[in-house]
Amino acid sequence: MKPYRAHLLVCAGTACVSCGSFKIKDALEGEVKKRNLQDEVLVIGTGCNGFCERGPIVLVQPDGVFYQLLKVEDIPFLVEEHLLKGRPVKKLMYVPPAEKEPIPKMKDIEFFKHQRLVVLRNRGRIDPEKVEEYIAFDGYEAMAKALTEMSPEQIIAEITASGLRGRGGAGFPTGKKWQICRQSKGRPKYIICNGDEGDPGAYMDRSVLEADPHAVLEGMVIGAKAIGAEKGFLYIRNEYPLAVKRVEIAIRQAKEYGLLGKDILGTGFDLELEIVQGAGAFVSGEETSLMASIEGRRALPRQRPPFPADSGLWGCPTNINNVETWANIPLIINRGAAWFASIGTEKSKGTKIFSLVGKINNTGLVEVPMGITLRQVIFDIGGGLKNDKKFKAVQTGGPSGGCLPAAKLDLPIDYETLTQAGSIMGSGGMIVMDEDTCMVDVARYFLNFTQEESCGKCVPCRVGTRQLNEILTRITQGLGEPSDLDKLGSLTDTIAAGSLCGLGQTAPNPVLTTLKYFRDEYEAHIRDKSCPAGVCRALIAYYILPEKCVGCLLCKKNCPVEAISGESKKVHVIDQDKCVKCGACYDVCPVKISAVAKLTGRRKDEVLGRSGATGEGR
């Protein structure tokens, strides 16, 4: 076979697929063929490249040129110019916010420059549906080494020495976990890969499974040898069809090649792996409820001890690790514990994947060494906030995490410092909020989520999260009372102390941290009936400033409820009784006029009078 002179790596992670990357791939293949380049140029679909904000994405190798926000119409020009004539196409390259010149090469783009790819080393580099490509980059070598040269004790010692901790959120040392399960007497033993990723806005595990499924399988075989397990499960949520498909293909190929199943690589070691699809309940990510779900029961957590290492699936010793944890294993075996331990901080080793979302310029998936500061992730990699807004808070660790203010931006990211600040590492969600975010409303949003997802087993969590949600809702409606703050305090304590599982124990975190760092906002809502960020509808009113209005009719035309009256070139007026506070007038009023004002609190009362205030937010 003739070697290809160029490879077009089309991102085929879920985010890019949803904005049409399969169509781009088809168009590229068609155009390459039309130009008779099909023997010279290869088009491949890869796992998530990470820069989801800019999808669909194509990387041209060996030139390293990064094309983004592609449309099917761009493809003929791209192929003709770059591949036929060798002229990279500037207009399809990435231009950083507030700059004019595009950056041609992926490695020079800030978003990629500061990342350290360990777990995601194969993202955008291999075709995840071809085991040969995984093998090409030293895949399954660690497994071969572990199966032939290492005893279970040696494997565990290596993992322990590396300092790897669980990437699912709690950060329990992985080597220790394996050791406990290894020493457990029961038979058979099971291993589980926890791919039930339920945090809103988080997709680290999905991306690993989609981009490099064999890394997870290889990690599991090594773990199985260390622990003495002969059967394993990958619990992947049903909402991840692409991840499920890629893992299915990976398992099938690995079995065909003798990399899984009976007598792996002729070493006599057996491991069967099976996918279990979860129905997507948040609580299923908790280990005991996940196991209940695999057994076919309702996903409810149970009391620990006994821990899964002693009594897990069907009462047998079970070791459960997160997707990202498993994917770290082959590298540690291959490159050694000392190498792994050289990355990160004293107590948190290695790298961590974060999904960077919210009001940020570069939304996407990033892998960074532990110990990097929040500021570096948000401003250097994430490119700062959208529309030059001011940073207000970042929520780490999903709905169970806390919101950290600007004063905490220089915190190094590791398990301990985040916990001390009142948040958690969690599985790696990172939601960035700007000055237009109301922190009380954010706390209410997350509590609404945890309340809906509470399995209902423990009363403090089931009833407590509901109460929290109701109090927070009342506060956002302007019906808060001074005593509410104390009530919130005692409720959060009770829920944290009286819940069996991590979901309940951490559910109050968003309330606790917003109370701690943004107490003034709660007080403004309760005391002044004011929402400083202008979010809570019951507390704000839109008002047209007579001295600024030029009578252009724009707001009148855009008002969905016909609450605005006025004629051309005459001042318009909003009927506060009809207004539903959708903000349409505020958005359409031209910036240079800015006649629509958002009023809240005392100023609202002064301008509109008490009677002008409406009680009910819609």
Partner 1 sequence: MADQKKLRIQDLAAIRDKTRAMLTIREGSGRAKVTVHMGTCGIAAGARDIMDALLDEILKQGVGDVIVTTSGCVGLCSREPMATVELKGQPPVKYVDLNPQKMRRILSEHVLAGRPVAEYALAIGSETMF
126/394 with CB nearer partner 1: 126
Using the rule CB under 8 A, give the single segment among 49-57, 69-77, 251-259, 355-363 that binds partner 1: 251-259
137/314 with CB nearer partner 1: 137
For residue 505, give both structure tokens. 């124990």
Tell me how far apart the alpha carbons of residues 165 and 160 are, in angstroms, rounded to a whole number. 9
Map residues 396-435 to x or -, x wherever contact with partner 1 holds by CB under 8 A: ----------------------------------------
Burial of 507 (0-12, 13-18, 19+ CB in 10 A): buried
335 binds partner 1 (CB under 8 A): no
CA angle 566, 571, 574 (to 5 degrees): 60
432 and 473 in contact (C-beta within 8 Å)?
A: no
For residue 241, give both structure tokens. 């069809």
Tell me how far apart the alpha carbons of residues 134 and 55 are, in angstroms, rounded to a whole number. 24
138/520 with CB nearer partner 1: 138
**How many residues line the site for partner 1 (CB under 8 A)?**
43
Shortest reach from residue 101's CB to partner 1, in Å = 10
Using the rule CB under 8 A, give the single segment among 135-143, 200-208, 305-313, 598-606 that binds partner 1: 135-143
For residue 327, give both structure tokens. 């994917």
Backbone angles phi, psi at 338, to 5 degrees: -65, -40
Tell me how far apart the alpha carbons of residues 427 and 37 are, in angstroms, rounded to a whole number. 44
CA angle 567, 573, 578 (to 5 degrees): 115
257 binds partner 1 (CB under 8 A): yes
| Spatial CB neighbours of 276, under 8 Å, sequence gap ≥ 6 | 233, 234, 235, 236, 293, 294
Shortest reach from residue 128's CB to partner 1, in Å = 14
Tell me how far apart the alpha carbons of residues 484 and 472 are, in angstroms, rounded to a whole number. 9
Instruction: Determine which residue in the list 66, 140, 190, 235 makes contact with partner 1, applying CB under 8 A.
Output: 140
Instruction: Determine which residue in the list 35, 96, 152, 267 makes contact with partner 1, applying CB under 8 A.
Output: 267
Using the rule CB under 8 A, give the single segment among 204-212, 263-271, 476-484, 501-509 that binds partner 1: 263-271
Using the rule CB under 8 A, give the single segment among 259-267, 319-327, 355-363, 378-386 that binds partner 1: 259-267
Other CB atoms within 10 Å distance of the CB of residue 206: 26
What are the beta bridge partners of residue 276? 235
125 binds partner 1 (CB under 8 A): yes
Instruction: Determine which residue in the list 16, 28, 126, 432 makes contact with partner 1, applying CB under 8 A.
Output: 126
What string of H, E and C letters represents the secondary structure of 433-470?
Answer: EECCCCHHHHHHHHHHHHHHHCCCCCHHHHHHHHHHHH
Instruction: Determine which residue in the list 18, 91, 113, 136 makes contact with partner 1, applying CB under 8 A.
Output: 136
Tell me how far apart the alpha carbons of residues 121 and 212 are, in angstroms, rounded to a whole number. 9
Tell me how far apart the alpha carbons of residues 226 and 203 are, in angstroms, rounded to a whole number. 29
Instruction: Determine which residue in the list 34, 71, 77, 137 makes contact with partner 1, applying CB under 8 A.
Output: 137
4 binds partner 1 (CB under 8 A): yes
According to CB under 8 A, which residues from 72 to 111 bind partner 1? 83-88, 104-105
260/432 with CB nearer partner 1: 260
265 binds partner 1 (CB under 8 A): yes
Shortest reach from residue 59's CB to partner 1, in Å = 9
Instruction: Determine which residue in the list 26, 29, 40, 435 makes contact with partner 1, applying CB under 8 A.
Output: 40
Give the β-pairing of 429-434 and 540-544: unpaired
Instruction: Determine which residue in the list 26, 29, 110, 133 makes contact with partner 1, applying CB under 8 A.
Output: 133
13 binds partner 1 (CB under 8 A): no
193 and 174 in contact (C-beta within 8 Å)?
A: no
* Interior/surface letters 527-536, b for 16+ CB within 10 angstroms, e for the rest: ebbbbbbbbb
266 binds partner 1 (CB under 8 A): yes
38 binds partner 1 (CB under 8 A): no
Instruction: Determine which residue in the list 26, 30, 61, 516 makes contact with partner 1, applying CB under 8 A.
Output: 61
Shortest reach from residue 84's CB to partner 1, in Å = 6
Other CB atoms within 10 Å distance of the CB of residue 124: 26
10/323 with CB nearer partner 1: 10
Shortest reach from residue 135's CB to partner 1, in Å = 5
Half-sphere CA count of 467, side-chain side, radius 13 A: 17
Tell me how far apart the alpha carbons of residues 361 and 550 are, in angstroms, rounded to a whole number. 34
258 binds partner 1 (CB under 8 A): yes
Interface contacts to partner 1, rule CB under 8 A = 1-7, 9, 39-40, 61-64, 83-88, 104-105, 125-126, 132-133, 135-141, 144, 148, 256-259, 263, 265-267
